[in-house]
Structure 1
Amino acid sequence: MAEHYFHLKANWPGLRNDTGTIDAGQLKTQISIPKEMDGPGIGTNPDEMLLGAASTCYIITLAAMLERSKLEKEDLTLESVGVVDVTNGVFTYKKIIHRPTIQLKDSATEKEKNLVRKLAEKAEKSCMISRAIMGNVELELEVTIQ
């Protein structure tokens, strides 16, 4: 078994509505509570980072699956939405909606389009981050094939 370790250093010198910093190698940024949660909205926040982790994992997994299947695409884009519920002052990360758009070559067959749709669904279930949050955060997929 091979294990990989990822490291992050955080600094939060102030109070609730102040800012801090994180340093995780290539990811270096300020952090604060988002404006939607009555914070200063400076830098990024846990909600954006969870959405970013889920989205980047999904699109990379899907791209790898398309490549392994020898499906030629013109483009692959993704829009994702994170839904946070606030009930009685308790914040719950409720749902992530992935909306990938896969643009195929004009010569793509119906069989290839169906395979792309299956791979888009499989990528969501295969991605490491999706597997990590499954059962806690609902995952929804809205695929567009062009």
Structure 2
Amino acid sequence: MADQKINMNTVWYKDAKGDGRIKSDNLKTQIAIPVPKGGSGEGAEPQQLLMSSAVACYTMTLAYMLDRKKVPIAGFFMDTEGNIAKGDQLSITHRPHVVLNSGASNEDVTMAEALILQAEKDCHIGQLLVKAGVPVGTEGKVSIDSGDDLTTNYIEEHRLVW
């Protein structure tokens, strides 16, 4: 694979109580220093950005692995929890819920359960975090679609409208 170049542009407005913007080809976000550190809190803070990288990597890795193994998924959703202990020690736990199509077999369920765990080992960002001393764990769940449209329910429950 050839080297890849990623360009990002950043602008910061005002002082520490201000905010900033980051933009690249497929990303636009607002950043800010957290209120407890003297900032405005009106944007993503560093730990959120770090966690979002881990979440995106894990999500894409799992989606890719499920597709490659031809696991019949209807979709999946995930909660990720980050905890910051004394000394700014971050830990991350992913809780994916993979929903399989109604015709899925027991073997499909077993494969999805295995891939949920394997995706964390194959996620490059997660592994970089682990090497840096950040505990990253996964507690997954697999269910078979019963017609309840669990993914849409999750979207509505968490107000994830884009």
Report TM bin, short chain: 0.7 to 0.9
Structure 1 segments unaligned to the other structure (5+ residues): none
Give the share of equivalent positions with the same residue, in percent. Answer: 30
Secondary structure at the residue paired with 1:134? helix
Could you tell me how far apart the structure 1 residues matched to 2:19 and 2:25 are? Answer: 19
State which of 108, 114, 122 in structure 2 corresponds to 1:112.
108
Match of 1:15 in 2: 15
Structure 2 segments unaligned to the other structure (5+ residues): 144-162
Could you tell me how far apart the structure 2 residues matched to 1:44 and 1:144 are? Answer: 29
* AA partner of residue 132 (structure 1): L
The TM-score normalised by the length of structure 1 is: 0.85
Q: CA RMSD in A?
A: 1.9
2:23/2:29 contact within 8 Å kept: yes
Deviations 1:28-61 (A, max 9, x none): 2321112354531112221111111111111111
Whether 1:6 and 2:10 are equivalent positions in the alignment is no
Whether 1:101 and 2:100 are equivalent positions in the alignment is no
Secondary structure at the residue paired with 1:133? helix
Could you tell me how far apart the structure 2 residues matched to 1:86 and 1:67 are? Answer: 40
Match of 2:142 in 1: 145
Greater than 3 Å deviation, 4+ residue runs: 35-38
Whether 1:28 and 2:28 are equivalent positions in the alignment is yes
111 and 36 in structure 1: CA distance in 2 versus 1, 3 angstrom threshold: farther
* AA partner of residue 130 (structure 1): G
Which stretch shows the higher mean deviation, 127-136 or 94-103? 127-136
36 and 75 in structure 1: CA distance in 2 versus 1, 3 angstrom threshold: farther
1:131 CA displacement: 2.0
36 and 82 in structure 1: CA distance in 2 versus 1, 3 angstrom threshold: farther
Could you tell me how far apart the structure 1 residues matched to 2:21 and 2:41 are? Answer: 13
